[in-house]
Structure 1
């Protein structure tokens, strides 16, 4: 049994956490029951780079029930829940290489460790695993992979467009039952959870600046407004800026927002959204957090170089003093605040995302001979099935069309 985790003695607490998550993931548990009987992944070796949380554990345990051998590493140096990692090793026989607080070398060493057994299927969150395989292990015979998040899908689409993608990948992030719920409701709640755990500040009455108005930004902006903040949206897309304005938010450039914001949360997937030029403009006491996948959205290096001093003032909260005397507070080192300073998305919303993951892996294995070296969206039948299973698990029933309605939907001759 190969693994590298912080402390196996944490396994019992981790098991309780996993049980708690699975209690709130009825769709995935329904899929697990089916997988346990049919074993659709028997003989398949999976390498996964995902946030090692209790929800991810529920997914890994489901794939193992399907017959797969699992090798798991973390997709962020600060997001691993060490008790969960220990439980997966001790109780489930899953090869885990992850702990909270990895440095950059350890992070990539762990990715190499799960590539070494030569996986058949790869699962990723951010595309670091995909990138390492394409850069250093191009000889591997991989049937296909999945990608969990927007940032990773962007990287994979770039690979496809450049003609270097080695195997088919299903963009789980693009499923309706993923981004409409995980990105919006999941990050909307969990980013604020991380902000509050790190600072315990009152949100009501403050000016909150949200950079990016994609589904993640929309979720964060709406939740901040719901807690009493006055919200400003910063965007580079005219369409999204107009939408934010029509949704009732103020819209302005970051240079202007920097002067008035109390709380800043980035959610763009791009680099230096808050940069050196913005820090001197900010109020004394401004709080900076990132909800994008990589720690590049806030120019942390620039902030450190500009600061005359800095110190850790609370767990996950660093105080930077600028030459003008103003103090800025950076949360979770600029990494994903919802996973570094909190527990990530609630289990109920990850039930949707990880049901898509499980069914997408099964789809890849069953359709391996038909798939090309492309980035595919989740098949619509999987998307619909996940929504159905979720509603069923919540005890919700919906109508179905009558035969008359089905026929009417097919015709074109009837008018007014």
Structure 2
């Protein structure tokens, strides 16, 4: 078991910092959360300890727009250990843990701009505040900081060396910018790392989404029909976990190869128009807009529960649902009931935002250990190599991916084989035959 974060300092040892958080008095609770998460983030801790000695980020300003959780806090601590001046804002209005934000300000002197439940204007105001001073490195979870820099704050682009992006949604947006020739600096798509999407997206999203749904509703999944929209890595994990809870899982897809995989994995596959008629729970994980639309809401059973675990709250067409409804009411926290004109009720969780962070705590720290190790090491790589990079989206270098997997296995006490010289020669040759 890894030890706790090593950057802790006595309370009030920092001068007051620029911040906008809910309540500084929550810091003690947040401190415990950060330390608890750090105990199962051994890879990031090893990177933090090296950063503390080598100072690879010394003098650099990092603007991070991420979910403000205990796991993210440990990444921020590692970046600060490496010498970075860190400003952090939320990448989703409902994902902030206010006590964690308070602890980052009080114990680590970080600039944090995040309040759980903030409205859209406050959300973008916080991004603007985090950008004050001008970043050298950006760290995004959905590409909103990149979007602001390329629209409202183009004056700051000249100082940006590079950035990282955490999500599938963000990578899609950034690649579109690169294709159109408008991306102003190089970015590493951390989401593309095997040690990110194969574990964070599958096991993290799978477990935390189920956790969020159960915390919000306290409903039994066993015996229900659970519809998963999208069978990417997040969808795979969610379908696997829902089946493990005893649900009859239905998958909807647009990609024939991916749909075939879902069939081979033992799931029923059908269009949303058919799934809408039979589902008890619906969860979207596609990264696209309007996955569940008016015609689907109209076809659903009375009492159907609908939520989203894709990054943005655009996968459910809630405007259309609002037009269909004669009334809306919150019947418990994160649970809003839409009563349609005919009397049927449709339940929406977490305002259509990431349910695993709206009503739960997001991914377990042990899986975020690898994702945030990618963020830290790719930031270091970007600083070292930015002069030779083009303004496009790069994949995580293979040696970083492999090193993170190696460190994770080491922390778990797992050993693996190595190739003999003869095996290595055989794999590298073409003339040995059978």
TM bucket by the smaller chain?
over 0.9
SS at the partner of 1:156? Answer: helix
Q: Match for 2:150 among 121, 134, 138?
A: 134
Show the counterpart of 2:242.
224
Partner of 1:328: 346
Give the structure 2 partner of residue 117 of structure 1: 133
2:74 corresponds to: 58
SS in 2 for 1:368: helix
Structure 2 unaligned runs (5+)? 1-16
Asked if the contact 1:203/1:228 (under 8 Å) is kept, the reply is: yes
In the aligned structure 2, how far is the partner of 1:109 from the partner of 1:98? 10
* 1:78 paired to 2:94: yes
Give me the whole-angstrom Cα distance separating, in 1, the residues matched to 2:304 and 2:368: 31
Distance in structure 1 (CA, Å) of the matches to 2:411 and 2:376:
17
Indicate if the aligned counterparts of 1:124 and 1:148 stay in contact, CA closer than 8 A: yes
Figure out how many residues of one structure are paired with residues of the other and give that number: 416
Aligned positions of 1:249-268 closer than 5 A: 249-268=267-286
The alignment partner of 2:139 has SS state of strand
Residue from 143, 151, 163 that aligns with 2:161: 143
> Within 5 A, what are the aligned runs for 1:310-389?
310-389=328-407
Report the 3-state secondary structure (helix = DSSP H, G, I; strand = E; otherwise coil) of the residue aligned with 2:406.
Answer: helix
For residue 325 of structure 1, report the CA deviation from its aligned partner: 1.5
CA distance in 1, matches of 2:342, 2:365: 44
1:304 matched residue in structure 2:
322
Runs of 4+ in 1 over 6 A off after TM superposition: none
Cα distance between partner residues in 2 of 1:106 and 1:184: 31
| DSSP-derived class of the 1:30 partner | helix
Shift of 1:412: 0.9
Secondary structure of the corresponding residue to residue 64 of structure 2: strand
Question: Is 2:293 the counterpart of 1:275?
Answer: yes
Q: Which runs of 5 or more residues in structure 1 are unaligned? A: none
Q: How many Å separate the matches in 1 of 2:187 and 2:423?
A: 37
Matched, 1:392 2:413: no
Q: Could you tell me how far apart the structure 1 residues matched to 2:191 and 2:92 are?
A: 17
Shift, 1:139, TM fit: 2.7
Q: How far apart, CA to CA, are the structure 2 residues paired with 1:32 and 1:400?
A: 28
Shift of 1:402: 1.4
- Contact 1:138 1:166 (8 Å CA) reproduced: no
Listed one character per residue, the Cα deviations across residues 353-392 of structure 1 (whole Å, up to 9, x for unaligned) are 0000000000011112111111000000000000011111
Q: Helix, strand or coil for the counterpart of 2:388?
A: coil
Aligned residue number for residue 36 of structure 1: 52
Shift of 1:95: 0.2
TM-score with structure 1 setting the length: 0.99
Distance across 1 between alignment mates of 2:171 and 2:431:
41
Partner deviation per Cα, 1:204-239 (whole Å, 9 max, x = no partner)? 100011100111111101111111111111111111
Deviations 1:166-218 (A, max 9, x none): 00000000000000000011000000000000001110100011100111111
Q: Aligned-pair distance for 1:302?
A: 1.4
Distance 1:32 1:396 in 2: 22
Maintained 8 Å contact 1:188/1:219: yes
